[in-house]
């Protein structure tokens, strides 16, 4: 006889069987250690293919139910995709990938605009057991190259281009630039814009041709619960992005569980998450969470302000959206544009709102609540991370709404606040977690040591989120922001070290230091201190060149808002840059505390004079 599972395991096993279709139903819950060697496993004896849950069962039971109402940035491009059609697209694409030699365990990079084929591509990989790694379409060719190399992708799936705010993003040419000297053998290209693009015969394949030639039936590959489902790169506190690995069983159970617990979609709901599939929010709350529940969704290629600031609200009315999930930066942007863009729409179908990616300030919260939700829709301020796989905290009690608070952890999630010595504190500290949950990341691709050090190194026995938080007398949590060298610009996580690496790579730069500064619109802005070689003159032209260099090295989202040239950076005697002081200088503060431990305290005065503090 097997011993009975613990109450916590029983809870998760129950969720696993209720929400997911298994080939072999698991009998084992969690098996994890947050001490070195760190190991995290869930539902180990389960076997499944995630696409059975996300596609097949709905295609069988409700083939005509709409999976996606898709709208391109050009609003005449509209498509309705049912679950029956979704299955056909996914299976044909899966067969096409097989024909290109993609097999279980192979890595496939997806670099796409927000079009339905991006979703088909992810699910086609999952269907055959290939591991997808979606790279946000806003990343540069250089950033794409780094990610392809790190995961060793054999195939890249892309489009000729995408559009954003009326501008064309040339994705295929970035791919052409990124893949020399990588293991990539094939490139699948969706002709989305119908543009003329360079073509490498034998290597490049037209998606439309592949789909026509492919058979519409593809048996789902049986996967162990702990087989990897995807790798998603995110920024850390060094210059190299981290390939966060999520596995099939635990991730899917957690995406489905949080979708149900936080948003509770019914057959009559229309859900719209405005994230891009290039980020974890798109993975969990456009693809795996909602599709696992057979939800009807809106999928949109564009931005909220194009062609004008009423676009989102027109779409909410057009499709009868009932649950709307977005990021505070978008809310703040729209808030600044005033109420006129709201007058032509009613938004009366909305019943629930969500926020994710950065702290939502009370002003934006109230605007969202009053003007978008008509004062009747609760706001789910959801706190989570790429590494957590799904939402860990949200105000599930709708009668208890506190602007700016992600409120409470979901059931069986155990947050703790630790001080710098790792001791529990009552009201403010490092936000850590004492036990595992099924959606937790398992490792960093190819670097388990970095995984252990980053998330479990500071306080062994706890998962360290890298965020700070406060807890009030009712036990509600308010996230105060990152406590490490990661900055959050418009809800995008960026590593200061990665931006520094880009600046240091530019001609004439000796050294740089990047810090976040408060920004009323973007949450945080990017402020760079740059030390130039003695024979290089500072100039506006050089500032622009350096900004462009960061854009081509990483992405437009990583471009500094401000560059300050300087002769030296404040350092400790061991040579470590004192970012605490630079953050204060950049923010225009004048109280630096004790600077006597610096090796070069005189630079602080010079830096202040140059910034005008």
- The interface region with ligand WTA, picked from 23-31, 73-81, 300-308, 381-389 by CB under 6 A, is 381-389
Out of 112, 184, 406, 501, name the contact with ligand WTA by CB under 6 A.
406
CB-nearer residue toward ligand WTA: 157 or 379: 379
- The interface region with ligand WTA, picked from 55-63, 336-344, 378-386, 553-561 by CB under 6 A, is 378-386
CB-nearer residue toward ligand WTA: 434 or 599: 434
Cα radius of gyration rounded to whole Å, the chain: 24
- The interface region with ligand WTA, picked from 103-111, 304-312, 383-391, 549-557 by CB under 6 A, is 383-391
Q: Rule CB under 6 A: is residue 493 a binding residue for ligand WTA?
A: yes
Alpha helix (H) ranges present in 179-260?
Answer: 207-213, 248-258
Minimal distance in Å, beta carbon 380 to ligand WTA? 9
DSSP assignment string, 427-478: SEEEEEESS--TTS--EETT-HHHHHHHHHSSSTTSEEEEEEEEE-TTS-EE
Give SS3 for 236: coil
Minimal distance in Å, beta carbon 393 to ligand WTA? 7
Cα 424 to Cα 503: distance, rounded to the nearest angstrom: 39
User: Nearest residue to ligand WTA, using CB?
Assistant: 386
Cα 101 to Cα 130: distance, rounded to the nearest angstrom: 11
Minimal distance in Å, beta carbon 391 to ligand WTA? 8
Residue 109: its H or E element: strand 107-111
Q: Calculate the alpha carbon distances from 315 to 370, 557, 561, 590, 607 in Å.
A: 19, 26, 32, 47, 49
263: CB partners within 8 A, 6+ apart: 271, 323, 325, 352, 354, 380
Q: Rule CB under 6 A: is residue 383 a binding residue for ligand WTA?
A: yes
CB-nearer residue toward ligand WTA: 466 or 525: 466
How far from the centroid of its chain's Cα atoms is residue 43's Cα? 25
- Span 305-364, contacts to ligand WTA by CB under 6 A: 356-359
- Span 257-316, contacts to ligand WTA by CB under 6 A: 279-281
Cα 48 to Cα 283: distance, rounded to the nearest angstrom: 18
Minimal distance in Å, beta carbon 479 to ligand WTA? 4
Out of 140, 385, 440, 495, name the contact with ligand WTA by CB under 6 A.
385
Confirm if 399 and 218 have CB atoms less than 8 A apart: no
Minimal distance in Å, beta carbon 359 to ligand WTA? 4
- Span 192-231, contacts to ligand WTA by CB under 6 A: none
Number of residues that bind ligand WTA (CB under 6 A): 22
Alpha helix (H) ranges present in 195-247?
Answer: 207-213
Out of 150, 467, 485, 498, name the contact with ligand WTA by CB under 6 A.
467
Out of 329, 382, 495, 564, name the contact with ligand WTA by CB under 6 A.
382
CB-nearer residue toward ligand WTA: 260 or 480: 480
Instruction: Residue 176: count other Cβ atoms within 10 Å of its Cβ.
Output: 19
Q: Rule CB under 6 A: is residue 488 a binding residue for ligand WTA?
A: yes
Judged by the rule CB under 6 A, the positions of this chain that interact with ligand WTA are 234, 279-281, 356-359, 381-386, 406, 465-467, 479, 482, 488, 493
């Amino acid at each position: 006889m097997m011993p009975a599972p613990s109450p916590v395991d029983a809870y998760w096993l129950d969720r696993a069987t209720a929400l997911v279709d298994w080939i072999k139903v698991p009998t084992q819950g969690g098996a994890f250690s947050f001490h070195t060697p760190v190991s995290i496993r869930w539902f180990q004896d389960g076997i499944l293919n995630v696409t059975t849950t996300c596609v097949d069962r709905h295609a069988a039971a409700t083939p005509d139910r709409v999976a996606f109402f898709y709208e391109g940035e050009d609003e005449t491009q509209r498509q309705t995709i049912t679950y029956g059609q979704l299955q056909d697209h996914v299976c044909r694409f899966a067969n096409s990938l097989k024909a290109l030699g993609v097999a279980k365990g192979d890595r496939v990079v997806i670099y796409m605009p927000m079009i339905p084929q991006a979703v088909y591509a992810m699910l086609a990989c999952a269907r055959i057991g290939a591991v997808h790694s979606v790279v946000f379409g806003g990343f540069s060719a250089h950033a794409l190259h780094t990610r392809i190399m790190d995961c060793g992708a054999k195939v890249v799936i892309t489009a000729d281009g995408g559009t954003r705010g009326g501008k064309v993003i040339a994705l295929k040419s970035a791919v052409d630039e990124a893949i020399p000297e990588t293991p990539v053998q094939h490139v699948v290209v969706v002709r989305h814009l119908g543009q003329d693009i360079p073509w490498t015969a034998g290597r490049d394949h037209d998606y439309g041709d592949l789909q026509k030639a492919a058979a519409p039936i593809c048996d789902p590959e049986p996967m162990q619960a702990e087989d990897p489902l995807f790798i998603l790169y995110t920024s850390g506190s060094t210059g190299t992005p981290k390939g966060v690995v999520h596995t099939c069983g635990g991730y899917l159970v957690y995406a489905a569980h949080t979708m149900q617990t936080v948003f509770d979609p019914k057959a009559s709901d229309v859900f719209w998450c405005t994230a891009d599939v290039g980020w974890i929010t798109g993975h969990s709350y456009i693809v795996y969470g909602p599709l696992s529940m057979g939800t009807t969704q809106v999928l949109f290629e564009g931005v909220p302000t194009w062609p004008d600031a009423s676009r989102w609200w027109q779409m909410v009315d057009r499709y009868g959206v009932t649950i709307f999930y977005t990021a505070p930066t978008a809310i703040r942007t729209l808030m600044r544009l005033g109420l006129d863009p709201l007058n032509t729409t009613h938004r009366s179908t909305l019943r629930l709102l969500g926020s994710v990616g950065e702290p939502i300030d009370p002003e934006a919260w109230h605007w969202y609540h009053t003007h978008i939700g008509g004062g009747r829709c609760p706001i789910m301020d959801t706190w989570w991370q790429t590494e957590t796989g799904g939402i860990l905290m949200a105000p599930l009690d709708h009668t208890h709404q506190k602007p700016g608070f992600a409120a409470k952890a979901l059931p069986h999630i155990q947050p703790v606040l630790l001080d710098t010595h790792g001791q529990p504190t009552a009201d403010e500290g490092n936000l850590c977690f004492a036990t595992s949950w099924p959606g937790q990341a398992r490792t960093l691709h190819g670097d388990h040591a970095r995984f252990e050090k980053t998330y479990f190194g500071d306080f062994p026995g706890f998962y360290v989120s890298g965020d700070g938080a406060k807890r009030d007398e009712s036990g509600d949590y308010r996230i105060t922001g990152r406590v490490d060298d990661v900055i959050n610009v418009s809800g995008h996580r960026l590593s200061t070290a990665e931006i520094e690496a880009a600046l240091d790579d530019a001609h004439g730069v000796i050294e740089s230091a990047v810090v976040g500064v408060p920004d009323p619109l973007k949450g945080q802005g990017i402020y760079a201190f740059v030390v130039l070689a003695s024979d290089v003159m500072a100039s506006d032209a050089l500032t622009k060149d350096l900004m462009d260099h960061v854009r081509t090295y990483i992405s437009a989202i990583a471009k500094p808002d401000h560059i300050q040239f300087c002769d030296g950076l404040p350092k400790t005697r061991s040579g470590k840059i004192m970012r605490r002081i630079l953050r204060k200088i950049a923010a225009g503060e004048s109280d630096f505390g004790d600077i006597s431990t610096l090796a070069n305290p005189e630079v602080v005065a010079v830096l202040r004079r140059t910034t005008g503090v």
